[in-house]
Amino acid sequence: MIIPKHKEFRFLFPLVPITCYYSGMATVSFKTRWLDIDRQASLYQKVVRQTGRLVLSSLLLVQLVLALYTSLWHQRGGLDAVLALGRRARSMAKFDNEPPSIHSSPVLTYVQAQLREMSVLFLMPCHSTPFYSHIHANITLRQLDCSPKSAILTATEPVKPNSWRASDLDEADAFFADPVAWLRAEFPLATGQVDSIHSIKLPTHLVLFSHLVEKHTDATELKRLFSDWGYHRCGDLFHTHFPTHSRHGTRVYIFCAHGWDL
């Protein structure tokens, strides 16, 4: 685990059985030494065992508080963001459950067209949200690619000479190195370069951490670009009190295109 540059908690899973074995031994030893009541014990032994109980109770209390905080509040912004987007998508898809008489109406046709057009771009570090698992609607989601260089080189699509795929950076690193330049290159039609027939249509929603538009070196220019493209902030969600990554923030912001408020 020390040598590989890429580390994840799941890499430690093979060690769980052996750690459970030693944890069980330690628990039995702790119970015998510190918790079991012995009426023949000396005053010193009783004080030591009482101290052991106090220490154990304190550890359990601390663990309970940490478990509640990390489960209910810490880093919840990514989950809340996709839940909000899912509600927005499903609010348009609910017409599918209406009586058959409405299925031929212009209302349903409009709603289905809107649902097909809804798209979300997550301008966040990789795997910051549960992605499709909490959406439950057929909309387009895109997150920054973190594929290793080997996967990029074996991709079937052609590599543009000036794109991030032609560099040693993955897409997420390329974006955070220069967010404004990346967005202008990714959506040339939005910047007036109408000669590009392969331009990707702007998404209806952008999801990002507050750090990107508040503390990043390009924050001011990035907010101006969003405004020029017709986006406004329509969601402000709590994420964490203690950001654990330089690209994270204490809040998650959702920017909506005109007419796509949550």
SS (H, E, C) the chain: CCCCCCCCHHHHHHHHHHHHHHHHHHHHHHHHHHHCCCCCCCHHHHHHHHHHHHHHHHHHHHHHHHHHHHHHCCCCHHHHHHHHHHHHHHHHHHHHHCCHHHHHCHHHHHHHHHHHHCEEEEECCCCCCCHHHHCCCCCEEEECCCCCHHHHHCCCCCCCCCCHHHCCCCHHHHHHHCHHHHHHHHCHHHHCCCCCCCCCCCCCEEEEEHHHHHCCCCHHHHHHHHHHCCCEEEEEEECCCCCCCCCCCCEEEEEECCCCCC
Average pLDDT on 83-94 reads 87
% the chain with pLDDT above 90: 48
First vs last Cα of the chain: how many Å apart? 43
Domain residue limits at 227: 76-257
CB 208 within 8 A of CB 123: yes
> Which of the listed residues 26, 53, 73 is the one where a domain comes to its end?
73
Q: What is the pLDDT of residue 144?
A: 93
In this structure, the chain runs to a length of 262
Look at 164 and 81; give whichever has higher pLDDT. Answer: 81
Whether 246 is in a domain gets the answer yes
140 and 238 both lie in a single domain: yes
Q: What is the pLDDT of residue 158?
A: 47
Q: What is the pLDDT of residue 167?
A: 57
96 and 69 both lie in a single domain: no
31 and 99 both lie in a single domain: no
182 and 58 both lie in a single domain: no
Residue carrying the six token digits 């032609």: 166
88 and 158 both lie in a single domain: yes
The per-residue b/e assignment along 89-116, b for 16 or more CB within 10 angstroms, e otherwise, is: beebbebeeeeeeeeeeeeeeebeebbe
60 and 119 both lie in a single domain: no
Residues 147-187 have pLDDT tens digits of 765 444 444 454 444 454 555 678 899 999 999 999 999 88
**Number of domains comprising the chain:** 2
Whether 50 shows a pLDDT value over 50: the answer reads yes
Q: What is the pLDDT of residue 142?
A: 94
Q: Which of 136, 108, 128, 140 is nearest to 176 (CA)?
A: 128
163 and 250 both lie in a single domain: yes
Average pLDDT, rounded, for the chain? 81
131 and 200 both lie in a single domain: yes
